[in-house]
Chains A and B, each alone.
Chain A
Amino acid sequence: MSTGAVATESPARPASSARAGYAVTLGLRLLNRYSFAFALLLTVALLATTIVRDPDPWSNGFWVGLLQNMAPMALAAMASTPAIISGGGGFDLSISPLMYFLAEVFIVWLAPHSLGGFASVPIVLGLGAAIGAFNGLLIILLRVPPVVATLAVFFVLIGVDLRMLANPNEGGYLSPSNWVVHLADKVGPIPGGVFTLGFPLLVWFLLGLLPYRRTLYAVGSNDATAFASGVNVALVRVVAYSLGGLFAGVASLALVAISLSANPSLSQSYTLLAIAAVALGGTSLWGGRGGLFGSLLGAASIYLLGNLLLTLQVDPSYLQVMYGGMLLVAVVLGGVAARARQAE
């Protein structure tokens, strides 16, 4: 009978633990409202540490170098984002080899045929968008799971990359006078990275002025609902993959800008990091939540951490462990936030 007497008033909690509880609730609220909150915090902390440790952080070179080196990975992450937001298991694994493919198109085809000027921009971006759309169509029309479809394209593109530039030493380098080097340096007083990284964000912002972006999130959140409400779900998804391809085009320019080349044997180097950055940035891998800005911050965290450990001369093998740990924390936090959301 003693079990029945439990229902008494719980003793008043100490004020400090109540305050801590409040802070946790507030943190989770923040994370629910701004899914990139964790990545933002991480980026700010890592950036602060980097600045403190750098001998001359306010020089021009510091920021230019930071942005140019971070750009390809951050752009790969942003390019991976729309497909993931579109839901339905949306994924585009082919972004990294696509970047290298477009970079090689630029170096091997466009530049030698005097199309290496500004004319190359619409060609590279357009080709990227077209290949992205092809991925989307493959998934929609053949009803292949996105991971499988884009994995197939991933392999095909890696093969094509290797074939196109069998020997990087023969015609695999761009003339240093090409305009594209400015993207890795400065355009007037502004670091080139601002343009490459800013382009997807600008496109994303402009899409927010159209009904498209809202519709994309709704499709990602629940495609059956969207379909029943009269949304052309297939078209929305194809456009999402196409956007990914478009951003991969920008990424390819950022890539070429750094090294004036594109080593095809590195074709797959950004695939997993991009996905990690997206997840770290708070975008739900189930679709419908998150955004491009989060992916940028996620990529920034990963880049800054790597950079920092390098300057601290930490054994690079620990780097991977740190990436993993960071990703785990981000995903668990996202899960906790989701649970808090449901409980409310």
Chain B
Amino acid sequence: MTTTDAAVPAEAVETPPVLVRMTAMAKAFGPTQAVRDASFELRSGEVHALVGENGSGKSTLVKLLSGVHAPDAGTIELLGLETPSLRTPRAAQDAGVVTVFQEVLVAEARSVLDNVWLGVDTLVRQRVGRREKRVRAREALAELLGRPLDLDKAVEELSLSERQACCIVRALLRDPRILILDEATSSLDVATRDRLFGIVSRLTRSGVGAIFITHRMDEISEIGDRITVMRSGETVATLARGSWTPRELVRLMTGSDQLTERAREDGGAVAERRGDVALSARGLRLRAGRRPMDVEIHAGELVGVAGLEGHGQDAFLDALRGAGAVDGAIVRHVGGRDEPVGSPTRAARLGVAYVPRERRQTLFGWMSIRENFGMPTLSADSRRGWLRLRLTRRRLNEYVARLGIVLGDPGDPITTLSGGNQQKVAISRWLAADPRVLLLNDPTRGIDVGAKRDLYALLTELAQEGRAVVMLSSELDEHVELMDRVLVFREHELFRELDHASLSREALVSAFFGEDGESG
């Protein structure tokens, strides 16, 4: 946080050369103006964070620089020369601009080695020798992951975190002059992320410029030398390290003074809405040979599911919704009776709804917003067997108002919505079925601050209505701010349960790493 830069007057420091200067960029996709008027400058040796709510145009802006999209207007200067022809990713890469995209882009069936070197060779000539490829790939992967990775393994056999590491290594192996990381840390575990930041620092010391897009404040403050804030397709401010506060950043991003930090409910209110046991896991083993766990989820309770990536949180949610082979029993308690949850269909019938992590899994990309919303609850909209679109629309409107979904026409394709709004539609679809237990798998991943705020409010409201909410999240602040109780998983066991009073970032992190909570 404290650097000499802020203390020394700007004139005293020799300004490093400008690597990229983008001026008055604009890009529209059909009727959507993704980038309106964006100007951006990247200097040699800096990490320049690009922040903004989802749909503010960050990703589109870097895609203009990466040769994925052609700009409608504006100029791009690379190393002081105007560059009109970044028409393909290849052209951008030849100019030294290398991007790790938001999507985890891998060729699933191919080996790690093929994936990290993909696109370096021409079709007939190897630019890098076979042996050198192996050596450099092994070194780069080991440096990022902290352990060796089998180069001949197919990428589809890797974890999400390892896949993302492959994407990052693919970029690093191209010796970028300008490295763009577009939410490249979203699936990495904490240690890998720290190692990545170490690598990025090393690169910037040697004159590389890095553009870094993230939704996480802590990452911005950790690595960002300068920050450019985008809002509605425009760049609104560029701030130097040390001259900003999280509050100010949020104000610039949202254009309002509203903050994400909700006042936490006090323990009394939490105890008050807590009802009877709604769902319980008995003798649940997430993996053979692990310690079994007993968990009870109460009505009116917000339960967080936390841990380092891949430590059994997903398996736990899957078990609760009746999917995946598990050892042990999941029981739903309805009106004094115990009903075993054996399959996702049973779970749904017993009022247990599940919102998966991947929006692509839940939403029908080619269908309209209205259809996406109404799909599982169509029977509510039919009269004498005929579907009445008006009824669906009316039901949808209710949620549009309640969740603050921003949409044009309900008949538009779902893909016209931003990620946050798509997620809201996905959640409202399940709410329309009036579930008693709502299971959410990282619902705020990659959605903007405003949409997160709306979701938090909604989840609290749902708990107050007496519904049980179980939510897996990879963001610490989310657990601290929102949850009544957090289950921390470690190595596929329930490692610790943190109640409302003992919930803090420090307590969570120490539990993640298996440390004794009491001493930490």
Contacts and interface: CB of A to CB of B under 8 A. Distances in A.
Nearest to B67: A230
Given A7-B283, A229-B89, A221 B328 contact: no
Interface residues of A, number: 35
Contact of B328 (A6, A215, A226, A289): A6
Contacts of B327: 6-7
Contacts of A5: 283
A25 interface: no
Interface in A296-344: 341-342, 344
A204 to B, nearest CB: 15
A243 to B, nearest CB: 12
B122 A228 contact: no
B125 interface: yes
Contacts of B458: none
In the A-B complex, list the 7 residue pairs whose CB atoms are closest, starting with the nearest: A7-B283, A229-B119, A211-B121, A230-B119, A221-B107, A4-B282, A230-B90
Contact of A341 (B107, B157, B285, B328): B157
Contact of B107 (A210, A217, A239): A217
Given A221-B108, A224-B105, A225-B107, A341 B123 contact: no
A177 interface: no
Nearest to B120: A230
B441 interface: no
A228 B101 contact: yes
Interface string A199-215: 00000000000111011
Interface string B337-355: 0101000000000000000
B403 interface: no
16 contacts: A3-B329, A4-B283, A6-B283, A6-B327, A7-B327, A7-B329, A211-B123, A211-B126, A218-B107, A222-B107, A225-B106, A230-B89, A235-B123, A284-B109, A288-B109, A341-B154
A272 B279 CA distance: 54
A288 B108 CA distance: 9
Interface residues of B, number: 42
A236 interface: yes
A231 interface: yes
Given A3-B338, A4-B283, A239 B89 contact: no
A126 to B, nearest CB: 19
B103 interface: yes
B123 A225 contact: no
A133 to B, nearest CB: 14
A1 interface: yes
A225 B116 CA distance: 11
Interface of A: 1, 3-7, 210-212, 214-215, 217-222, 224-232, 235-236, 239, 284, 288-289, 341-342, 344
B401 to A, nearest CB: 36
Interface string B59-92: 0000000101000000000000000000011100
B110 interface: yes
B121 A215 contact: yes
Interface of B: 66, 68, 88-90, 93-94, 99, 101, 103, 105-110, 114-115, 118-126, 154, 156-157, 170, 282-285, 292, 327-329, 331, 338, 340
Nearest to A10: B327
A225 B89 CA distance: 11
A333 to B, nearest CB: 17
Contacts of A289: 109
A215 B123 contact: yes
Given A3-B340, A214-B114, A236-B123, A227 B89 contact: yes
Contacts of A342: 156
A176 B36 CA distance: 73
A3 B88 contact: no
Nearest to A289: B109
B124 A212 contact: yes
Given A225-B105, A228-B101, 15 more contacts: A3-B282, A4-B282, A6-B327, A211-B122, A214-B110, A215-B123, A218-B115, A218-B118, A225-B106, A226-B107, A228-B89, A232-B88, A232-B90, A239-B123, A288-B110
A301 B415 CA distance: 46
B109 A217 contact: yes
A215 B127 CA distance: 14
B140 to A, nearest CB: 15
Given A6-B283, A288-B109, A226 B119 contact: yes
A43 to B, nearest CB: 24
Contacts of B284: 7
B315 to A, nearest CB: 13
Contacts of B121: 211, 215
A220 B109 CA distance: 9
A7 B292 contact: yes
A310 to B, nearest CB: 38
Given A215-B123, A228-B89, A344 B157 contact: yes
A24 to B, nearest CB: 17
A228 B156 CA distance: 18
Given A3-B282, A230-B90, A218 B110 contact: yes
Contacts of A288: 107-110
B331 A4 contact: yes
A276 B327 CA distance: 42
B476 to A, nearest CB: 31
Nearest to A216: B123
Which has the most chain A C-beta neighbours within 10 Å: B105, B107, B108, B284? B107
Given A212-B124, A221-B110, A229-B89, A7 B282 contact: yes
Contacts of A344: 157
A232 B93 contact: no
Contacts of A4: 282-283, 329, 331
A221 B106 CA distance: 8
A88 to B, nearest CB: 13
Contacts of B283: 4-7
A217 B329 contact: no
Contact of A229 (B124, B170, B328, B338): B170
B176 to A, nearest CB: 12
